[in-house]
A = this chain, B = another copy of it.
């Protein structure tokens, strides 16, 4: 008898799961229905800042696979603008509302895939009917901001609240569109995804392209004029603006899961096992920004909302739903970003993470170049390593550089993934040629320096 898979959420995790399940089970065996409350499927949320800036001209370039492709090529019944409002685990049903006025439907499932993603953290002060205040998580959010930027009176000033990846990337995008941009950050520095000494390099680059950075400052309210935002309120007075973008991070979108009684972990994400099964709930799976996962270095639960994990986890869930076997091995916190031409990469633990997890460690910073010093285009590159004491095991790494820098974090990520010590790393056989590295690769220079630091203690 034909079984039925219901997918809640039509972005990376949900559609990766659906298409992997379809690869293993045909329509006669498994019917697949996917509900997506937005207008789009499987798009690159990470690409939104580049569409806002104009670097990517067309919205549809961000869409990896449209609903027609899923319908025709994968035989998946994708229903856009349908918001699932309830999950009935006992009756094995979901209730979905057609957001374009078509009423409510009930759909039976044998297997449920929960992939609702995350929602931007929105403080109370941002809860307003005034126009011009935007979270930035979905392509619909991006489209709303684009419309606002193109509307009259034309916005000229922007305030970005929060200096994580999205905040920093949006600040740059808005500068590139010609707005005057102020980034307001509650902590002492934006880009807290890397240690302060490395973040300082990024802050300098942001100031260099004209972003005003206000640190140690919280936003407490909004001012409005004629139904439009006109300023953010801070302890140091109002900052006039025509648009506010929230970059305060996201939280797992679990309202529906909670109501249905799915288990949440300490991070607020849904608890899943290594095969992406919701813990203790038969035939219910979850993946992507709505789940928590395991950090391989600390062994602790973490919530790391990134498209790369959503895709991998969705694939794992789909393989298992399809009758195969796959597991998700956890994360080590690798991330890369480009800020004002500066390339930033990180993996593993920052100093404060390592301290919080109870590790003793040394940290070193090595200055080097992207290419042999004499080769045209060589640019500075800074590599930071954090190594456990006295074992020498790599705990974390960060790279900041001006070109060909960020993706080198992968070399360190694979070393860390495999539990290498910095001493072992000094022997690594990495590629050398003058257009790509000095004869001592920046990674090797940093490893040597870490070995020296460990010996000195």
Contact = CB atoms under 8 A, between A and B. Distances in A.
Interface of A: 12, 44, 46-47, 50, 55-56, 61-62, 64, 296, 306-309, 311-312, 327-329, 331-338, 343, 345, 347, 372-376, 404, 406-411, 413-415, 417-418, 420, 424, 426-437, 439-441, 443-444
A422 to B, nearest CB: 13
B436 A56 contact: no
A417 B296 CA distance: 20
A427 to B, nearest CB: 4
21 contacts: A12-B439, A46-B434, A55-B376, A56-B374, A56-B376, A64-B439, A308-B432, A327-B427, A329-B427, A333-B429, A334-B429, A334-B431, A336-B436, A337-B433, A347-B429, A404-B404, A406-B436, A410-B411, A410-B441, A413-B429, A413-B430
B312 A427 contact: yes
A439 B307 contact: yes
B375 A56 contact: yes
B433 A338 contact: yes
Given A312-B427, A374-B61, A415-B414, A46 B334 contact: no
Contacts of A296: 429
A439 to B, nearest CB: 5
A88 to B, nearest CB: 33
A372 B331 contact: no
Contacts of A56: 374-376
Contacts of A409: 431
Contacts of A375: 47, 50, 55-56
Contact of A311 (B62, B415, B440): B440
A432 B345 contact: no
A432 B46 contact: yes
Nearest to A346: B431
B439 A410 contact: no
Contacts of A432: 46, 306-308, 335-336
Given A306-B432, A410-B430, A413-B430, 12 more contacts: A44-B434, A44-B439, A46-B439, A50-B374, A55-B375, A56-B375, A61-B374, A309-B429, A328-B427, A410-B441, A414-B418, A417-B428
A291 B433 CA distance: 21
A271 to B, nearest CB: 19
A61 B413 CA distance: 33
Given A44-B434, A439-B311, A417 B429 contact: yes
A52 to B, nearest CB: 13
Contacts of A426: 312
A431 B417 CA distance: 13
Contact of A62 (B327, B374, B406, B414): B374
Nearest to A309: B429
A424 B419 CA distance: 14
Give the top 5 A-B pairs by smallest Cβ distance, nearest first.
A336-B431, A61-B374, A308-B432, A418-B418, A329-B427
A440 B404 CA distance: 19
Given A56-B374, A407-B437, A436-B407, A332 B431 contact: no
